[in-house]
Structures are given as C-alpha cells and as structure tokens.
Amino acid sequence: MSLGRGEELFADIDLRREKLHNRAFHAILVAASLFGLVMLVLLILDVLWESYQGLTVFQIDLVQFLTQPSSSRAERAGFGASILASIWLMVLTAILAFFLAVGCALYLVEYAPRNRMTRLIEANLANLAGVPSIVYGLLVLALIVNDAGLGSVILAGAIALALLIVPIIIVASIEAIRAVPSGVRDGSYAMGATKWQTIRRVVLPQAMPGILTGTILALARAIGETAPLIMVGTMLHATRYPDGPFASFSAMPTQIYNWTYQADRMFNGLAALGIVVLLIFLVVLYVIAGYLRKQYEAEGTLTNV
C-alpha cells in the first residue's frame, strides 16, 4: 500500500466535525444524567413552595400538624394519626416480610438443589419484584379483607405491603448470602459445625448488613406505596390514632392523596407538608441503609475475597 493511497484513505475524514460529534455526544449524555436530577429538584422545590404557602397563607400550625389526627375541617386537620399508622405499617410489614424473605433466601442459597425447580423459583422471584403494587392490593382485598373478613385494618395493609417487598428482600438477601465466601463455610464445617450452626454463626452474621440494607430499602419503598393501601381501604381522614393492628387507618401516602382532591385549598398546603414529612422518613431510612452498607464494606473485607 503506497503512501499516496494512505493519504487518500484519510482524506474524507473531517477531524473538526468528528470532534464536534464527540463533544455533542458527551453533552447529550450529561444532559441525560442531569434530567432526573433536575426533575427531582423541581419536584422538591414545588413541594417546598406549596408547604411555604400552607404555612403562611393558611397559617398551618406545625405542632398541631404533627400531633393532631386529620379532620374534614382543614383548620383542625393534622398528620399525627397517619404518621403513627405508617409506623405501625412499617413495623408489621418488616416483621412479616423479613423472616419469610430471609428464610427463602437461605433455603435457595444453602439448601436448594441446583435443578430446574430452583431456577424456576429464582426466575419467578425476579418477576414477582416487577408485579405492579396494586395487584398485591387487589389480592389482599379479595382474600384477606373480604374472604377472611379481616376488614380494612392496618394488618391487612401490612400484609399487602409485605407481599410487595418480600421478593425485593429475597433478591437482596440471596446476593448478601452468596457473597459470603465458601472458604469460610468450609472452615466452619472442618471444625465440625453442623449446617445450621454454620449458617447461624458464620453465614448470617457476615450477610446480615447486606440483608438489613436490602430490607430497609424495601421498607422505604413500602412506606411510600399508595395503590395497595387504597385497594385495601383507608379512611378519608385519619380521624383517630390507630390503637393496634386491627384499627382502621389512613397511612401517610393515602392521607396525602385524599387531601389533594378536597375542594378546600388549605388541604393542598397540608398535603405538601405531608409530603415533606414523608420525604424526611425516606431520607432517614436511606441514611440508615447507607450507614449499614458502609459498615458492611469496612468490616466485610472477607467477603471481598
């Protein structure tokens, strides 16, 4: 190949244009990544603006807002009963979902034979995590609320939310348990430990931060869920503090939803403040999850082998 033909080969390449393309592509990618962030900032600004209006125009009293139950009279309405209902929901959901999910994950990783059945279960778990949340709500409405006659109570809501997050926790737990190196297990067996002793004393302690992180992130999803709770049935206004798992309720997201469509505009301010409270709950959960993950990375050097 002669030199002349080589020059000819590159002659049709416009270097400036290529560099321009390069920069344009870069800019598009940056814009794409910023889009989500910008939307989030806009959303938060909007909520804060509405909250500010609620506090100034409608003179919402923050103490009353945080301590009083809701009411159909906006001037008397508060968020306290909904906050408590959400805490009840989270505790019950965590209890229901955690043991089921961790048990399932332990079985799949430690006990289940590597066959088609196991693969089928694992594939289905991934699919379950993608089922729209309202479907779980409908299931609980039909089976638990109506057929079993439990009624529209906190426990029914917690069952719906637990069904929703069990697959998420299972997937997170499987990963955490798989990350425990088999050398550690073998070491335990070599010392004469039984399988259960190995799981309890060696595998679970190692995997627990990962499992807990997954559980907390799943709970953060559950606390913001509205659709399944609406299906289960919630009060228009949470006018009473729930006194147990069998109380009628309206959790934070459903109370916010109900406030947004009331004719009295003051409810819009209340809803915005409610969103702020809900966001604070979410941030706290994420911080806890992040802290656990950090601990996990600092202590869990073994798992990085």
Partner 1 sequence: MAQSHDPEIRRITRRTAMTTIASIGAVSIAGCMGGGDEGGVSGTIEASGSNTVAPITQVAAEDFEAEYADVQVNVEPEGTGAGFQEFCQANSAFQSASREITDEEIDICGDHDVEYTHYTVGQDTLAVGVHEDNDWCEQITLDELNEIWEFESDVEQWSDVRDEWPDEDIALHARDSASGTFDYFTEHINGEMGNIRDDYSATSQTDEIWDAVEDNEYAMGWGGVGHLRSLQDQDGTLKTVEVESELDGEFYPPEEEYIEGGEYSPLARPLFFYFNHAELEENTDLIASFARFYINNQHEFATEVDFYRATDQDIVDNHDQLDSVLEDIGADPDDITVERQDP
Question: Which residues contact partner 1 by CB under 8 A?
Answer: 71-73, 146, 151-152, 230, 233-237, 239-240, 248, 260-265
Nearer to partner 1, 57 or 284 (CB): 57
Q: How far is the CB of 151 from partner 1 (least distance, A)?
A: 8
Q: How far is the CB of 15 from partner 1 (least distance, A)?
A: 49
Nearer to partner 1, 71 or 197 (CB): 71
Nearer to partner 1, 152 or 303 (CB): 152
Q: How far is the CB of 219 from partner 1 (least distance, A)?
A: 25
| Contact by Cβ (8 Å): 70, 237 | yes
Q: How far is the CB of 109 from partner 1 (least distance, A)?
A: 42
The rounded distance, in Å, linking the Cα atoms of 175 and 211 is 9
Nearer to partner 1, 221 or 240 (CB): 240
Q: How far is the CB of 275 from partner 1 (least distance, A)?
A: 16
Nearer to partner 1, 130 or 149 (CB): 149
Nearer to partner 1, 71 or 194 (CB): 71
Q: How far is the CB of 137 from partner 1 (least distance, A)?
A: 12
The rounded distance, in Å, linking the Cα atoms of 104 and 112 is 10
The rounded distance, in Å, linking the Cα atoms of 56 and 226 is 28
The rounded distance, in Å, linking the Cα atoms of 2 and 9 is 11
What's the token pair of residue 90? 């989270």
Nearer to partner 1, 53 or 118 (CB): 53
What's the token pair of residue 150? 């439990």
What's the token pair of residue 74? 């906006």
CB atoms within 10 A of CB 260: 14
Q: How far is the CB of 57 from partner 1 (least distance, A)?
A: 9
**Residue 2: partners with Cβ closer than 8 Å, 6 or more residues away:** none
DSSP string covering 124-152: HHHHHTTS-HHHHHHHHIIIIIIIS---S
CB atoms within 10 A of CB 59: 10
Of 283, 266, 279, which Cα lies nearest the Cα of 78? 266
